[in-house]
Structure 1
């Protein structure tokens, strides 16, 4: 099940990134970040309510470690998304999102050091190959032209997404509920926290950005809906297995990303060396064998 959920999440995240890239042309970074969560919250609560109608169970205890992990994941994902949007403003869609995919390697290192994650040597090999493949596919011949600023922001975004994923998994494991319910609770609470924090910030500091989102309802809605489905897939998959495996397999997002970038965003993506495609396929096979 985690494989199906991860592939679905990667597909939806590619679309979410594409919509955010379009929105970032006219809306400030905080507004584009808010667009990711704005309508996703109600969808998450509807999904959670549907689960309880289908299979009633206990309510979770949200105080203690579980609540802290949820708050930390919410804040870290805001930071990660804001850095991703900054990447879109510096380089094209495929390169920006590709740099942030260092997330899988960072998640593996942090997971082993601080979260008790255990990876086999095949798992490590898959993570490393996937990371190399993403850089080859996303940047290609543009690697030599990347600025230090772009590299630092990309790695920062990847590290922030990695911490988000690790804390999401820890939050889910700390809720004493069956699989779909615990993932749904974390999803709904994280998105709601993010929405309230960003709305409060923009209402106090930059109401013009809220107005800019209001003027672009279709793109804002598309960003939120695709974000909800992507987060649903990620959160559910990470409740079932280790984060590095999910994120390494999730690098198939690059395939979807390149297609969207070329056919919908009309941005040229040069991939001269097919070794990148073979590496990412091999990385996915390795983590599936673990």
Structure 2
């Protein structure tokens, strides 16, 4: 009985498989230009792939916690990759997707409840927090690989733009997640190394950390500096500003497309 329960705790959720299937089919539609509305296909592909990356982000937190001593993770359903099992589905899935649609930015999520009291060792606590954004880093490497490997010959322009935009989302998510602000994974990395008194003083601000970071991003100067750094990093990986711009332009299928981004333009 215990073994059967453990296996079910780790069985990949049909919800996640469905999302992955949407990403695969819509990605194929973008690649082959099969869809009558290529912008809508790009929208589905990028959104579904983004949700897949969010699920993997949370899975990385949970899996690392499991191997660090929190054996309660499986019973909570976190190892099934089902986004509906997160403690705060609003923070982990809904808000990131909403910010993606509104502003084209990778909002860090985060809502798997880890019983930290079961885990011993500061390095383990730090690694659990780092595991999520490191997944975004890995996802960004995969998305940018065709660019920095100079393997774009034969890749349709629409798919290239979508991939560039998806890479932008992963880079912004990784950077923002690593900001050492309470409530974000970056703070979780350094928190075990802070004194007890400092942690007690900072703890009340944790629910507002994410809000504060995004409030700062609304400041034009901060926003410009942040995205200048993001685009500089992407350019070093072979992803041009034009790639990401056209990816966002195609993603927003409800707006008039920029003729410069047309494959035949």
Mark yes or no: TM-score above 0.5: no
Q: Which has the larger radius of gyration?
A: 2
Greater RCO, CA 8 A, separation 6+: 1
Specify which structure has the higher proportion of helix: 1
TM-score (norm 1): 0.27
